[in-house]
Amino acid sequence: MNMVYQKAAISKWTKLYREECQTTASSQSEYDYMKENLKLTKQLEEMEKENRFLKKAAAFFAKEIE
């Protein structure tokens, strides 16, 4: 199977799945959950990053007070 045919087939399958997600309620719901999960995962990573920074800042200022 050549690469051009493979890329065309994958593009076609992707298009069909995208259309299915837009028309099927259960697929749309699953897609919405995936988007929400991605959003929340990014928020969690950001919060963990901020938490690590705040812990380091608190330790730094605790040393300054002593």
Note the pTM of the prediction, 2 decimals. 0.55
Is the pLDDT reported for residue 19 higher than 60?
yes
- Write down the domain spans for the chain: 3-65
CA–CA gap between residue 64 and residue 44 (Å, rounded):
30
Percent of the chain clearing pLDDT 90 (strictly above): 42
CA–CA gap between residue 12 and residue 6 (Å, rounded):
10
- 41-66 confidence digits (pLDDT tens): 999 999 999 999 999 999 999 987 76
Is the pLDDT reported for residue 38 higher than 60?
yes
